[in-house]
Amino acid sequence: MISFGVGVVIPAAGSGERFGGSTPKQYYKILGKPLFLYAVDRFASFPWVKKIALVVDNIDKVNAILQETGFSHIQKIKLVKGESTRHRSIRAGLQELEKLSIEDLKVVVVHDGVRPLIPTSLVIQLCDAANVHGAAGAVRPLISTVLSTSADQFLDASLDRSTHVASETPQAFQFSVLTSAYCKCTQDELDHGTECLQLVLRHMGIRAKLITGPEDLWKITLKKDLYTAVSCIREINNDVCIISSEETSAVKMLEENLISKVAVVKRVVGVLDSSQYHDNKQKTFNTVILFHMHEINQDEQLLDFAALLNTEKQGLIIHIIDNAKIDGMQSMSVYNLHRSGRTMAHHYEKLHKGVVVIHCVNANEDQQLVDLVITLIQADPTTFTGQTFFFF
């Protein structure tokens, strides 16, 4: 754990020319939340982060967003007016942190506001390395070969990918090192430069420690990147509980397939003791999958597992009914089964959950069932709520 104070500068004042459209990309909503808030939320949750200089194009607009979303760490945020270039905006954020004279502030982290995924372990590694070496940066292996071209667009040389890496954020620096480097910047560097690690190398003589980060350090640059962001954010926010009265091949297969696709998977086999969840000390889940060996009593089911649900996150309640083992479905029309599913969806609205009911008539379609459940979990919970599916 970090034992010293850390400040953060998040530049989020860009116009997003490559992204296109009239709305800067940092304000685009992903799963109902402005993009820049994912980075802000993450850093604000770290207890050793003392202050975040959030550099934006419109302070009033961002302040209103923070108020409307009920941002819980508002005391950690200092809104700073962005300037004309990336380096000038970062310098403005650093200057605000300097004015605050924060006690024990040894390291400052710079992170782009349009990079929503921030691994905790990587941030800790970078801060520790910066505290020892003066600077540290996250990198990734190059995917494409980089070519050097002439002014008239003819090939001059091809770089060896094995000796080059892609610079990413977050980056971390001793606070005094980065502020001193910006004090020595030329006007040309402030106007055209983008790389903080290069600044401390050029002006302070400090070679940054480079740490290879995971593949999800990418930056949202083009509109197509939003689709990847939605999928990745939904995965890291999805905590799933599978409940079944007995062990089955479908339950085991579902758990195995979900492990790599969601943040948490818990499997409960047997009678659920929901009383243990009422003290709020147990893990809660935004998605719950129930395997039924009998028809659903809606009121009882709500009481049985409502305490497991994280009602602050959207998610799904998926009821899987094994009709191959029961006779309940034979007495109901398809219309009544659909109506029953929609009624349950209405009941769960107050818990911010969608509801899907799956009736399995053929007991030998485990993989198809697993594939369907995973598709439902990865989709927007509002897309399929109230729907009833049948496996014959």
CATH number for the domain formed by residue range(s) 240-391: 3.40.50.720
Question: pTM of this prediction?
Answer: 0.78
At 75-131, the pLDDT tens digits run: 999 999 999 999 999 999 999 999 998 988 999 999 999 999 999 999 999 999 999
At 334-381, the pLDDT tens digits run: 556 666 667 776 667 777 788 898 888 766 678 889 999 999 988 888
- For residue 276, what pLDDT is reported? 52
Calculate the CA dihedral of residues 293, 299, 302, 303 and round it to 10 degrees: -100
At 39-67, the pLDDT tens digits run: 999 999 999 999 999 999 999 999 999 99
Pick the CATH number of 5-232 from 2.10.109.10, 3.90.550.10, 2.40.180.10, 3.40.50.10330: 3.90.550.10
- For residue 273, what pLDDT is reported? 58
DSSP 318-367: EEEEETTS-SGGGGS-HHHHHHHHHHHHHHHGGGTEEEEEEEE--TT-HH
pLDDT category at 245 given cuts 50, 70, 90 is confident
Mean pLDDT of the 157-184 span: 95
Average pLDDT, the chain: 86
Tokens for 91, please give them.
Answer: 């310098």
Q: Say if CB 31 and CB 230 are below 8 A apart.
A: yes
* Domain spans of the chain, in order of start: 5-232, 240-391
